Amino acid sequence: MSTIESLYWVFAAAAALVLVGIASSLVARRFSAPLLLVFLVIGMLAGTDGPGGIAFDDYSGAYQLGSLALTIILFDGGLRTRLESVRRVLAPTLLLATIGVVLSAVLTGIAASWLLELEPVVGFLVGAVLASTDAAAVLFLLRAGGLRLRERVGTTLEIESSANDPAAILLTMMLVEYMTTPSGLSPLTLVREFIVQFGVGGIAGVLGGGAIARGLNHLQLGHALSALFALAAAVLVFGITGQLGGSGFLAVYIAGLVVAGRVRGGLTNLLGTLDAATWLCQIAMFLVLGLLASPHLLLQSLLPALGVAAFLMFIGRPLAVIACLAPLRRYGKREIAFISWIGLRGAVGIFLASIPMLAQLPHAQLVFNVAFVVVLASLLVQGWTLGFAARLFDVALPHRESTVRRVELDLPGTLERELVGYPVAAQARVLADAPLPEWAQLTLIVRSGEILTPERGGALHAGDYAYMLAPPGRVYRLDWLFAPPEEAREAERELFGEFSFDADVHLGEIAEFYALPVRARDAPLTLAEHFAQRFEHTIEIGDHVRLGAVTLIARELGDEGVRKVGLKVDRLGKVLMRPRWLRRLLPRG
């Protein structure tokens, strides 16, 4: 009976921790606190040094749980990433996931050796443990915060954080092996392991993802069983890949990418069902890692550990990102600065720090404690400033919650379009001078209970229901066209500014009129050419370029790029900036 009773207690305690975490997250949202930090702190409070007093030191169990949770999280992240986006940023993300990880590990290792007064090999172990950004933290915080980043920046962060785990794991395992048996490691062994991990992981991910997609397409499964089938198959791909010597984490992420590109229907429903699984994995992983921590041990090395965290955030990570991205000349300074700052460390760092504990290496407890402090500092500083940094560096897409009712329907057989429907309100902008964007195709109109084709229905009327085919990532940009008049005007001003210009106007003319800081070589460019240089082939309605106190916004797109541009003057700029013609009329001083 004692065994059964203890089992009841374990289940009750685990459920109570989850419920407390969920309840606390509601409070955390009011202060924009990173939710993952809430679960980590609750785990610490429930541990031996907290009021909960739970004694938990099962590093092996935490490692196994972390592996399973990361498998599901990375598979879900792959499902949510479009292959087109991956192709555009493949080279830079591969550099960040390999060279960037090695540079971060080396630089952080040097700093850790000096700050913690450790032997170089132990310092490099600390650097390897902390070298990778955490896909779980990056994907989760972006999604939970409702933050929409520019496609290139957002995709780079997501793919890098998912693909750099194999490099960090490999470095950590190699250093652990070296510290255990120094004669067993050589540069040739390291290179061979790198190739095997990435090669086998990539091939297994493509083959496994193709098999999962084939099963989802041909097996007659309901929504719930489809999600369960996909999750079980992803874990199977992870296990088999690991047995073959490859990176299981890379394999499941690639498998998710392949499934998203090949499954013929039901992807939206699949993602909706997987949301609960990823939430549970996040909560369980951070609670368990919090239980492993002992605050009284963390305090013993707190100051040097905070020094390592500061070095990684302000020096190590930025230098590694600049070394990888600056030579490519695809990214602007603001984009590089944002990617450098959002190098979030999360459960992966603590997860890797448990490997030296399992191997019972000297200084293993110190490595774990330092990793825990760095993760806490990263979630507090970088996680809390995620939205602020996105706005500061101009990489956040305009987003505004709307009260307009929108219906979205997933279409079997296509991943590039979904069916979206709106009620057409009286005086909606779509009834006046605001046409539908070219990427939104009107498909049918419901009028007085009758279904009409666009040809039969003609122009939209108040009271109609309009259904369009549109890319999923752009659907929200239609909201202001169907919103009530007051909300539509406010949303339009917020999105596009007070003025608009044809995109064939030269940048120099705008700069002369508004006294804007423009380089001489950019002045002859038209606004369309300037946007094309800035965003290459990823321009979307709402993309913006900041020039001093003025922001230029892509308002309409055509086949050749931007067709109309909006202009918005910042509030501070309205006070500080005077157009050249106005300055001539007003006295100086």
Average pLDDT of every residue of the chain: 77
Radius of gyration of the chain (CA): 26
Buried b (16+ CB within 10 A) or exposed e, 463-502: ebbbbbbbbbeebbbbbbbbbeeebbeebbeebbbeeeee
Dihedral sign, CA of 377, 381, 383, 389?
A: negative
The CATH number of residue 119's host domain is 1.20.1530.20
Both 524 and 454 in one domain: the answer is no
Phi, psi of 568 (to 5 degrees): -125, 130
Containing structural domain, residue 423 = 407-486
* Residue with more model confidence, 150 or 237: 237
On the question of pLDDT at 500 being above 70, the answer is: yes
Distance between CA atoms of residues 514 and 507, nearest Å: 11
Both 470 and 502 in one domain: the answer is no
On the question of pLDDT at 304 being above 80, the answer is: yes
Both 74 and 193 in one domain: the answer is yes
Retrieve residue 394's tokens. Answer: 């101009």
Question: For residue 14, is it within any domain?
Answer: no
Residue 66: name the closest of 158, 138, 166, 136 by CA: 136
Both 466 and 510 in one domain: the answer is no
Both 419 and 451 in one domain: the answer is yes
Both 219 and 93 in one domain: the answer is yes
Other C-beta atoms lying within 10 Å of the C-beta of residue 438 = 12
Distance between CA atoms of residues 393 and 411, nearest Å: 36
Sheet with 561-569, edge to edge strand ranges: 499-502, 561-569, 550-558, 544-547
Over residues 543-552, mean pLDDT: 76
Sheet with 407-409, edge to edge strand ranges: 407-409, 418-423, 465-470, 441-447, 450-452
Angstrom distances, CA of residue 427 to CA of 120, 420, 430, 441, 485:
70, 20, 8, 21, 6
Both 385 and 508 in one domain: the answer is no
Both 353 and 246 in one domain: the answer is yes
The CATH number of residue 558's host domain is 3.30.465.10
Which pLDDT score, from 0 to 100, does residue 185 have? 60
* Residue with more model confidence, 32 or 499: 499
What is the tally of structural domains in the chain?
A: 3
* Residue with more model confidence, 225 or 162: 225
Residue 557 pairs in a beta bridge with: 562
Question: For residue 225, is it within any domain?
Answer: yes
Residue 233 pLDDT grade (very low, low, confident, very high; cuts 50, 70, 90): very high
Both 157 and 250 in one domain: the answer is yes
Both 286 and 357 in one domain: the answer is yes
Which pLDDT score, from 0 to 100, does residue 578 have? 43
Final residue belonging to a domain, choices 486, 513, 536 = 486
Strands 561-569 and 499-502: antiparallel
Both 257 and 177 in one domain: the answer is yes
274 CB contacts (<8 Å, ≥6 apart)? 72, 76, 79, 227, 230, 231
Distance between CA atoms of residues 238 and 221, nearest Å: 23
Coil, helix or strand at residue 409: strand
* Residue 467 host element (H or E): strand 465-470
The CATH number of residue 443's host domain is 3.30.70.1450
Question: For residue 121, is it within any domain?
Answer: yes
Give the tens place of pLDDT for each residue, 330-348: 788 888 899 899 888 877 7
Give the tens place of pLDDT for each residue, 142-196: 665 556 677 778 778 877 876 777 778 878 888 888 888 766 566 677 677 778 8
Distance between CA atoms of residues 300 and 302, nearest Å: 6
Give the tens place of pLDDT for each residue, 345-401: 877 787 788 888 888 888 888 998 999 899 889 888 888 888 788 878 877 765 544
Final residue belonging to a domain, choices 445, 462, 486 = 486
Q: What pTM was estimated for this model as a whole?
A: 0.66
Residue 296 pairs in a beta bridge with: none
Coil, helix or strand at residue 273: helix
Which pLDDT score, from 0 to 100, does residue 33 have? 53
Over residues 62-82, mean pLDDT: 81
Give the tens place of pLDDT for each residue, 88-108: 777 888 889 889 999 999 999
Question: For residue 468, is it within any domain?
Answer: yes
Both 131 and 262 in one domain: the answer is yes
Final residue belonging to a domain, choices 441, 467, 486 = 486
Over residues 469-497, mean pLDDT: 68
Which pLDDT score, from 0 to 100, does residue 173 have? 81
On the question of pLDDT at 5 being above 70, the answer is: no
Retrieve residue 392's tokens. Answer: 């500061």
Give the tens place of pLDDT for each residue, 105-151: 999 999 999 999 889 989 999 999 998 887 666 766 666 555 667 77
Distance between CA atoms of residues 311 and 250, nearest Å: 28
